[in-house]
Structure 1
Amino acid sequence: MSLLLDSTPIERPVSRAHGIGFWTIAGTFLVAMAYSTVPSPLFPLYVAREGFSTFAITVVFAAFAVGVVISLLLAGHVSDWLGRKAILIPALGLEVVSALLFLSSTSLPVLITARVINGLGVGMIAATATAFLHDLHTRHRPGASSQRFEIVSTAANIGGLGVGALLAGVLAQYSSSPLSTPYVVLAVLLVLSIVAVALTPETVTRQQVSYRPQRISADLGAAGLGAFSAFAVFGVFTSVSPGFVAGELHHPSRTLAGLVVFIVFGGAALAQTLTSGVRVSTLRSIGLGAQAIGVLLVVAGMYTTSFPLFLVGGAIAGVGAGVQFKAAIGAVAATAAPARRGEALAGLFFVAYLGLSVPSLSIGLATRYLAPTTVMTWFAALLLILLAGVAVLAAPKRS
């Protein structure tokens, strides 16, 4: 869930500071992404306290995607000429503001505002931190393989999303203030991250460039549909699955709610790491199969009220979504012209975040009129149709 853009690196001799900075930015990236999923296992608590409907909760969740898309279009690329730290530090500041809003009130308007601000920060952080990591890795290990950068950036990015939900679930389970403690802990870590980033060496020389929003490419084909389907899975598990676990599966534990999200994103991050060097066509086949099998097992777990089956299905679906999105990025990076690669990747992320929000909102609205198990069955059916569409679009064209 990151966007790597071209940069103008500062020509400096290799230094130990760049090596330390690499791990500093990796830790900062992980903390920032972890904060984005803190609310996921807490949503049932908001429902119990404020009486929110499932649809209201998904609106709160979707507000995050709206913020990310706006930020991605307006600010995700400007660190290439303003500098990495000049964007990363204010973005982390937005995350702190978001946490303070969550601490100030549990009313719906405040929660929505907090999530939009959270998304604005993440849209800036995902692009900038990934590029910063690449710069620092290259400076610290010139000429070395990019494998360390790829593994660490994936673990911090996708893995961080899982860590945040698990940490929030554990803190909420064993804290006397479950709707406050997770935000306090992450806010402190975010403030420490701001200090750490300020001490990290800059890697980009500031340039005077006429500002323009990031251009979006719409011609994405199988990659775009694959990204949409992958993020649809992520969106469902971070927005409505904690409510399903507490309601339909009768497991109200906040730790278990966080564990579900952690396993989905953890499976995605692990699969992306283990498939390094695998061809895009093979990645796509693995992703399609795993997503299909996983979502069917999730629905079966809901019908049989089997939490283990639901959890296994979530893990397999997460693996599939992670590999599918990696295939989408690989396809776009390989086929886009160098001068339009940033534009094409921005388009891919735009479509992906639509996948993160639209299906979740639709599910939230549908649960007002239908049983959650029925709604998830329809989601599974529509996801299978999307996956079939990816397979058709990606099939080799016969002459």
Structure 2
Amino acid sequence: MAASPRSATMFFAVALTFVVTMMGTTLPTPLYPIYQQNLGFSQLIITVIFAAYAVGVIGALVVAGSWSDQIGRRPMLAAGLVFSAASAVVFLWGGGLGPLLLGRVLSGISAGIFTGTATVAVVELAPAAWAGSATLIATAANMGGLGLGPLVAGALSQYLPWPVHLCFILDLVLIGVAAVAVACAPETAARPARPRLRMQPLSVPAEVRPVFVPAAIAGFAGFAVLGLFTAIAPAFMGKILQLSNHALTGAVVFLLFVASTVGQIGQSKLSERLRLPLGCVALIGGIALVAAAIGMASLMLLLLGAIVSGIGQGVAFRAGMGAVTAASPPERRGEVASTFFVVLYVAISIPVVGVGLAADTLGLRVAGISFSIAVAILATVALISLLLRRRPD
């Protein structure tokens, strides 16, 4: 049965809203060297600014992770857009460390709201003809938006005026269009008569932990790589590779997120038993290439490392999320999934701050190689845990 033009339009409009919001969260990536130069920040301060994003994401996941089931998808999507617009306004205001930290926290809150709510909304709005692809479209919207942020901001800051402002002006325009799409979209949640707004508990049942632990370790390693590229790649490009083109920096980070999307989509073609182990193997190989790129100051190796580690991260993330969800009791899946995401967003922040601290004390090259070794060790631990758990089978 063919989908009506309106239902298909609303489906893709909400998916594009997802793209716009996630794009806004990564716009600052290629701008960090400009902030560093203009405001005199150390590499540690840059990583702290980046990590403030995870504070907002984790806060939104814990506080409002289940609210869309109670008050509806549209109000939560609208709230996410408000936080996204507020973040863009704060970045336009700029002027120092405080506004940059606040902008990142607000951006994280918008992402925390959208990560769960928009994924569910896209799936629920899918016409029958698109139902089988709805989850993949939501995944592509999420990761594609994250990748577009550095690409767009890098190109605008490199080739057009107002290098630290123009991308946020464009972001506000797109958020306005997205707000119209959300206002026109139908509500898909069956809201209770008396909504109960509560914080999302975080815990893992004992019977789920044997599955959760290796999946969380692999996911931690993969998201740490995402954090490395989005926070530190601009400094690597400029100080080690001597390449200061912001558009090129944005393209490298975009490549990583495209590879992650490919890994997430392609993992369904692998045997279920092999998905997470193969994701760990690819992650180890990719981060080894990144370490070699840093050591040899090679752009080609960095690009190859971004592709391989991105694919590994995507496979490991989707496979780990699927395994954890399947192993969880139905009544506690939301709780376990939220715990899993909190682990991932801790990974995207704290290790990167450690890299910033190490870069200021030991140098960027030593910090980057040491971080790569640590991530490879984590992925290896996850791989060994998986192999040992399956040996009795």
User: Taking structure 2 as the reference length, what is the TM-score of the superposition?
Assistant: 0.94
Deviation at 1:304, TM superposition (A): 1.6
TM superposition shift of 1:281: 2.8
Relative to total residues, which structure has the larger helix share, 1 or 2?
A: 2
Q: Does 1:206 align with 2:200?
A: no
Which residue of structure 2 aligns with residue 7 of structure 1?
none
Q: What pairs with 1:241-280 in structure 2 (closer than 5 Å)?
A: 241-280=233-272
The answer as to whether partners of 2:221 and 2:376 remain within 8 angstroms in 1 is no
Letter of the structure 1 residue corresponding to residue 49 of structure 2: V
8 Å CA contact 2:260–2:315 kept in 1: the answer is yes
The corresponding residue for 1:370 is 362
**Equivalent runs, 1:185-224 vs 2, <5 Å:** 185-207=170-192, 208-218=194-204, 219=209, 220-224=212-216
Shift of 1:272: 1.4
- Are 1:292 and 2:292 matched, yes or no? no
- Aligned residue type for 1:190: I
Report Cα offsets for 1:219-264 as digits up to 9, x if no partner. 4211111111110010000001111101111000000110111000
Q: 1:134 to 1:228 in 2, by over 3 A?
A: same
SS at match of 2:240: coil
Paired-residue identity, %: 35
The correspondence of residues 72-221 of structure 1 with structure 2, limited to 5 A, is: 72-137=61-126, 140-141=127-128, 146-207=131-192, 208-218=194-204, 219=209, 220-221=212-213
User: Any stretches of 5+ residues in structure 2 without a counterpart?
Assistant: none
Matched, 1:32 2:52: no
1:141-200 Cα deviation digits (max 9, x unpaired): 1xx674311221111001111111101100111111100001111111011101111011
Pairing 1:398–2:392 present = yes
Deviates more, 1:208-217 or 1:178-187: 208-217
Range with greater deviation from structure 2 (32-41 or 280-289): 280-289
Kept after mapping to 1: 8 A contact 2:150/2:251 = yes
- Which residue type is aligned with residue 393 of structure 1? S
CA distance in 1, matches of 2:14, 2:191: 19
Q: Partner letter of residue 214 of structure 1?
A: Q
Corresponding residue SS for 1:268: helix
Give me the whole-angstrom Cα distance separating, in 1, the residues matched to 2:161 and 2:380: 47
Deviation (angstroms), 1:210: 2.4
- Whether 2:47 is the aligned partner of 1:58: answer yes
Distance 1:302 1:133 in 2: 39
**8 Å contact from structure 1 (residues 17, 200) kept in 2:** no
Contact 2:70 2:196 in 1 (8 A): no
Give 1:293's aligned amino acid: G
**Contact kept in structure 1, 2:292 and 2:301, CA below 8 Å:** yes
Distance 2:271 2:197 in 1: 37
Counterparts of 1:180 and 1:221 in 2: how far apart (Å)? Answer: 42
**For each residue in 1:102-132, what CA deviation from the matched residue of structure 2 results, as whole angstroms up to 9, or x when unmatched?**
0002301110011001101110011110010
Q: Distance in 2 between matches of 1:164 and 1:370?
A: 30
- Aligned residue in 2 for 1:20: 9
Change (3 A) 1:192 1:17: same
CA distance in 1, matches of 2:196, 2:132: 34
Distance in 2 (alpha carbons) for counterparts of 1:206 and 1:341: 19
**1:268 Cα shift?**
0.4
Letter in 2 for 1:112: L
Aligned residue type for 1:65: A
* Counterpart-to-counterpart distance in 2, 1:145 and 1:155: 14
Partner Cα distance (1:270, 1:224) in 2 = 21
The structural deviation recorded for 1:33 is 0.6
Deviation at 1:201, TM superposition (A): 1.0
Provide Cα deviations, 1:300-328, integer angstroms capped at 9, x if missing partner.
11222111111111111111111111111
Segments of 4+ moved more than 6 angstroms: none
What is the distance in 1 between the residues matched to 2:272 and 2:85? 38
The alpha carbon displacement at 1:67 in A equals 0.3
Q: CA RMSD in A?
A: 1.4
Verify the 8 A CA contact 1:65 1:354 in the aligned structure 2: yes
Residues matched between the structures, number: 382
Is 1:301 the equivalent of 2:293?
yes
For 2:271, give the aligned amino acid: R
Residue range with higher mean Cα deviation, 31-40 or 145-154 = 145-154
Cα shift readout 1:10-64 (whole Å, capped 9, x = no counterpart): xxxx854332111011100011111111000110000110011111011011000
Which amino acid letter does the alignment assign opposite residue 187 of structure 2? E
* C-alpha distance in structure 2 between counterparts of 1:211 and 1:103, whole Å: 33
1:64-92 Cα deviation digits (max 9, x unpaired): 00100000011122111211001100110
Q: Which residue of 1 aligns with 2:334?
A: 342
Contact 1:281 1:327 in 2 (8 A): no
How far residue 205 of structure 1 moved from its aligned partner, in angstroms, is 3.0
- CA drift of 1:269 comes to 0.4
In structure 2, what is the Cα distance between the partners aligned to 1:112 and 1:334?
37
Using the alignment, how far apart are the partners of 1:87 and 1:235 within structure 2? 26
Range with greater deviation from structure 2 (254-263 or 14-23): 14-23
Query: TM-score when scaled to structure 1?
Result: 0.93
